[in-house]
Amino acid sequence: MKFGERIKSFFSSRNAVSDELLDDLCDLLIEGDFGAAEAYKTAELLKERCKNENTKELPQKLAGLLEEELKKVNISEQLPDENKITVVLLLGVNGVGKTTTAAKLCSFFNTMYGKKAILAAADTFRAAAIDQLKIHGQKLDTRVIAHKPGGDPAAVVYDALEAAEANGINLVITDTAGRMHTKSALVEELRKIDRVIESKAEGARYLKYLVLDATTGRNAYSQAEIFNEAVSLDGVILTKYDSTAKGGVVFSLASGLRLPVVYVCTGEKYTDIEIFNPEKFTKEFTGIE
């Protein structure tokens, strides 16, 4: 059952607003991957906004509250810029979908904005990762800049920026190695990539996105906390939202870390990516048609 169905049937089985209802709602939100503090805050706000005892309006009111929270984190500055180079750096733990997302973004920008990209294979850790990106590059008719396995990821990014400049391409999408949050190595490597981008593509629209697997629930929030502290993220790309993912973590990312979800991926095809839509997402989460 989709989580929205759960919220919907929760409200339809209750007929009066009470403290008990709000407590139960709090528990349900936590089950839906909310953090305890946000679930409590949401239930409290909902209580304040309930002027009468009628439960009919509750789903809409809850959706309104949640949507407001999401709209506090703005993504208008996150789309590729016409006048300057855009560099997208994809980060995250193993297997969340970084490489697939790099290819999807490449295809998305091309379809939506007619933009050609260069893909940078800065996951030099696994030999297969380089080939995986090259195959995407062939399918998408997109150039992939790669070095040998074990090479310096920052050098790959440097070469990708050079190639972009030389070919008049103003979009570079960078895949990176999956890593658990072993902080020091992560910070060191990313700092080096950062320095390269900042000196080589001065004034670029530089977007650091954490790729999060929606099915990992609250664990996704901990990953965001750690990566954000280490490298100050611009946003999140939520993958695998096509399966049993509940999605409540998206609201915590917004209210707890002020991090917007920028794209949502719902499958393995290149077209299974869209710009995050707070209204649509909230409706799905709360089961409102």
Ligand X SMILES: Nc1nc2c(ncn2[C@@H]2O[C@H](COP(=O)(O)OP(=O)(O)OP(=O)(O)O)[C@@H](O)[C@H]2O)c(=O)[nH]1
∠ CA 152-154-156, rounded to 5° = 75
Q: Does 242 interact with ligand X (rule: CB under 6 A)?
A: yes
In the complex, the smallest distance separating the C-beta of residue 264 from ligand X, rounded to whole angstroms, is: 8
- The nearer residue to ligand X, 49 or 183, going by C-beta atoms, is 183
Crossing angle of helices 36-49/19-31, nearest 10°?
A: 140
Q: Pick between residue 45 and residue 177 the one whose CB is nearest to ligand X.
A: 177
Is residue 97 involved in binding ligand X (CB under 6 A)? yes
Site for Mg ion in 81-140 (CB under 5 A): 98-99, 129
- For residue 160, give both structure tokens: 């990708």
Show the binding pattern over residues 256-285: x = contacts ligand X (CB under 6 A), - = does not: ---------xxxx---x-------------
The CB-of-13 to ligand X minimum distance in angstroms stands at 32
Which CB sits closer to ligand X, 29 or 119? 119
27 binds, among Mg ion, ligand X, none (CB under 5 to 8 A by kind): none
Rule CB under 6 A: is residue 178 a binding residue for ligand X? yes
**Residue from 96, 145, 249, 250 binding ligand X (CB under 6 A):** 96
Residues forming contacts to ligand X in the complex (CB under 6 A) are: 92, 94-100, 123, 129, 178, 239-240, 242, 265-268, 272
